Amino acid sequence: MTEQQHGDSDVIRKAWAELVDAARRTVTDGLVVGTSGNVSVRVGGTVLVTPSGVPYDRLRPEDAVGVDLRGRQLFGDLSPTSELPMHLTIYRETSAAAVVHTHAVHATAVSMLVPELPAVHYMTGILGGPPRVAPYALYGTEELAENMLHALRDRTGCLLQNHGTVTYGDTLSQAYDRTAQLEYMSRLWLAAAAVPGRAPALLSPSQLREAEDRLKGYGQHRSDPVTPGTPPTGPGALRP
């Protein structure tokens, strides 16, 4: 093995470990049940993705699954998640370095009630605006991926009708945080909307723009160790 190959292997191993940790956290945080939902990260031209139907607490370093941007499996004995079309669509059409898909209860409930989650909190700004609901399509299909892509226009997260959520980011931690915030805002709206005779106060477009501008500097910024060579363009706008 050359020094370059060894270095690439180290990056893949580290990325896989971070992916497994994030996948397990979706269960711990109540964002998925069983083996539902999936997580992926991009390392150059390789997409590491959780496998189909395997409990996350059983995943080992040797279970790493990698595919290219066309979906061709590069390594791993396990089959990639059935939602691979959604993940690959995001990587092909945006500058995403990580994608998180969940079946979060409150967000899924919202997806059955409205065409987009109303702007009930300033953290809506981290998603680029009120997250839209992608029309229902059978899981694992190109139709679902296409519906999702339309809902993600100028956004970094969306709801999937009667299904769940999808978010992406420059890092896995950023994508995960966006998922957690989306579920929180969904729960908040449901709680406020359930009060009889009252309608939730919503933020105006100008208030959202102000929050979005400030949120661009939100959090600590470090170089992403799992995505060397990723173009330094931020998420939020689909590629032309």
- CA 132 to chain CA centroid, nearest Å: 14
What sign does the dihedral 129-136-167-240 (CA atoms) show? Answer: negative
Q: How many residues are there in the chain? A: 240
CB–CB of 156/126 below 8 Å?
yes
> How many angstroms separate the CA atoms of 27 and 57, rounded?
10
Angstrom distance (rounded) from CA 47 to CA 80: 10
What DSSP line would sit under 85-134, residue for residue? HHHHHHHHHS--SEEEEE--HHHHHHHTT-SB----SGGGGGGTSSPBEE
CB 121 within 8 A of CB 188: yes
Find the catalytic residue in 83, 142, 146, 183: 83
Q: Is 83 a catalytic residue?
A: yes
Q: Which residues are catalytic?
A: 83
